[in-house]
Amino acid sequence: MKRLLCHGLSGAVALVLGSVSGWSAAGDETPVKMEPVFVEAASPNPWQYFRVPGFEVISHCPDDFNRVYARALEASTAARAALLPQDFWGGLSTPMKIVLYNREPAQGQAFSRPKPIDLSWVSGDDGTAGPYSLLRTYPTVVGDGDTFISCGNYWSLLSSTTDFYVDPDSEIRVRCRLPQLPRWFVSGLVGPGGILSTWTVEPGAAGQEFAVVPSVTWGSRAETLALLKDPKRPRAVMALSVFFGAAVPKGEEDAWNAEAALLVRWGLFGAELDGRSRREAFLDLVRGACGQPVTEAQFKGLLGLGYAEAETRLRAYVGVAVREPVRLPLGIPRDTAFEIREATPTEVARIVGDWGRLEATAVGMQNLDYQRECLDQADRLFERIYARQTSDPGFLAAFGLYALQVGDVTRGREALESATGGGVVRARAYLELARLKLGDSLPFAEQGIGDLNQADYDRVVGLLGTARGQTPSLVGSYQLLAKALEHAPKKPALGDMEVLDKAVALFPGNASLAYKVATLYKRFGYPEKAQAVIARAFRMADTNEDRARLAAFVVRDR
């Protein structure tokens, strides 16, 4: 039986639920105001908490489903290891958060937005649903660059799920990897028809499990059927000289994405005419393409064939790809021990409150009522715990970021100071506190070098250094460092600028960052370095617009 595949960023549609009416409790010896609708320990089914390597999970689902889900997380990690070496996956210093829901959907209700999930309901609550109702929900992911939270309602699976697979973080890790992977390789993994957009896990004989990449649809279903009927049917591929060019040809985005998926599949799983694998050579090609565009000489040097011969091989491989799935054996730990326990109020607030603020950001202006509901939900959870004066660094970081988001700068700063002072592992906490510190330290009329005193400068640079040391490294940490260098106590030495030069290499497709770094090099009297940054960025630019902007810098500098 195939496992049911529930992807993260590419998951299907989730629909809106409204709030549930609140209630309060009285009669306790120490009166405590009970917030409406969200009562953890008093619920017949309180939030449960467990950890799997790389993940934190809170759940309203039964323990048997929690174990099924934990096993599925282990399978997705094993599938990732079977597909690509570890250095192709970006690290997450903060474990990914998972919120599991099991609310039975009401019938016949409308929806207004494709993603939100109601988190104000608790199992056993007999409150009345609002104007929206969940019809069917698959997991959706929100995040802010260093922390990601997946939330889904699994009610329809609970009664019959015995074989299940979920992959909430593989796409995130591909996109967070630094130096950034080349655009064509990312598309071949997570773009339309990419490996990660279609793979699943299937059991085999003797308990062996396999990651399965199904056969492809080439062009259209009709064309694919025609290829299956006639293996000699002609098929076209894009010239590799065009495919590896600076920009996707206008109007040929679908063909480019299809070729990316085919090329990556061929490179990873295709065999040479004598049966040998080209996988290691292809992986070396990808590694090299993180810092420079692919050339035919490089391609031939690694793979042993030029573009014309490779295009012939790709055309032939289309017939294989539409016919044969790829099966990768997995090594999954058996009977991994993990504890399922009741979640603490702090854990619920830290994870669900953070989900509420991130979901509010994701929904934006599309649904202001729902956005307000998300923020109100986060506010209730955060305020309840913050009032207890907790010292938990993870909670304080989440609360501080929420407070800044809603404009409460004083408490946001206070919470982030405590969180970073407690050594929290969350890069954005250090970045946003550094942003506050820099804003406080700069005068209203910014002149440039000398605006910052040494103590303030050192504090900002120190916070940003800690942020950069945590994964995934946030481009904002480098952008803010560039601003601090603009106003440093004295002109930065060449060594002070090297970290920004490294940033351009880590984010080779970010033309704006390269332009900023080159501008600083030029301003501080290092024109050769400025030209080198622009030249490298020009070679790696993804769009004609970026190339034109970078070229304009070179013209002005002459």
Residues 43 and 142 in one domain: yes
What domain count does the chain have?
Answer: 5
Confirm whether 280 is domain-assigned. yes
> Per-residue pLDDT tens for 275-327?
678 999 999 999 999 999 999 999 999 999 999 999 999 999 999 999 999 99
Confirm whether 185 is domain-assigned. no
Residues 318 and 348 in one domain: no
Residues 414 and 443 in one domain: no
Residues 435 and 410 in one domain: no
H-helix or E-strand spanning residue 329: strand 326-329
Residues 278 and 138 in one domain: no
- Confidence (pLDDT) at 125: 36
The answer to whether 517 and 533 are in contact (CB under 8 A) is: yes
- Confidence (pLDDT) at 130: 32
- Confidence (pLDDT) at 331: 87
Query: What are the distances in angstroms from CA 99 to CA 50, 56, 86, 138, 291?
Result: 11, 9, 26, 12, 37
- Residue spans of alpha helices (H) in 442-474: 454-468
- Domain boundary among the residues 423, 438, 470 is at 423
Cα dihedral: 59, 65, 70, 71 (round 10): -170
Q: For residue 467, what are the domain limits? A: 426-490
If we measure between CA atoms, which residue out of 488, 509, 438 comes closest to residue 467?
Answer: 438
Confirm whether 450 is domain-assigned. yes
- Confidence (pLDDT) at 366: 75
If we measure between CA atoms, which residue out of 474, 471, 485 comes closest to residue 523?
Answer: 485
Residues 390 and 416 in one domain: yes
Low-confidence ranges of the chain (pLDDT < 50): 1-43, 107-116, 119-136, 555, 557-558
Question: CA 150 to CA 345: how far, in whole Å?
Answer: 19
**Which 8-state DSSP code applies to residue 350?**
I
Question: CA 238 to CA 310: how far, in whole Å?
Answer: 11
- Confidence (pLDDT) at 129: 31
What is the separation of C-alpha 349 from the centre of its chain, rounded to a whole number of angstroms?
22
- Domain boundary among the residues 311, 342, 373 is at 342
Residues 380 and 399 in one domain: yes
- Confidence (pLDDT) at 372: 87
> Per-residue pLDDT tens for 341-380?
999 999 999 999 999 999 889 887 777 887 888 898 899 9
Confirm whether 90 is domain-assigned. yes
- Confidence (pLDDT) at 21: 25
Residues 152 and 60 in one domain: yes
Residues 318 and 370 in one domain: no
Confirm whether 202 is domain-assigned. no
Residues 275 and 359 in one domain: no
- Confidence (pLDDT) at 196: 93
> Per-residue pLDDT tens for 30-74?
333 323 333 333 445 589 999 999 999 999 888 989 999 999 999
- Confidence (pLDDT) at 202: 87
- Domain boundary among the residues 307, 342, 377 is at 342
Residues 291 and 314 in one domain: yes
Question: CA 56 to CA 42: how far, in whole Å?
Answer: 22
Furthest-apart CA atoms within the chain: distance in Å: 82
Confirm whether 212 is domain-assigned. no
Confirm whether 465 is domain-assigned. yes
How many helices (H) and strands (E) are present in the chain, helices listed first?
Answer: 23, 11
Confirm whether 141 is domain-assigned. yes
Predicted structure pTM score: 0.86
Residues 124 and 88 in one domain: yes
Question: CA 474 to CA 432: how far, in whole Å?
Answer: 11
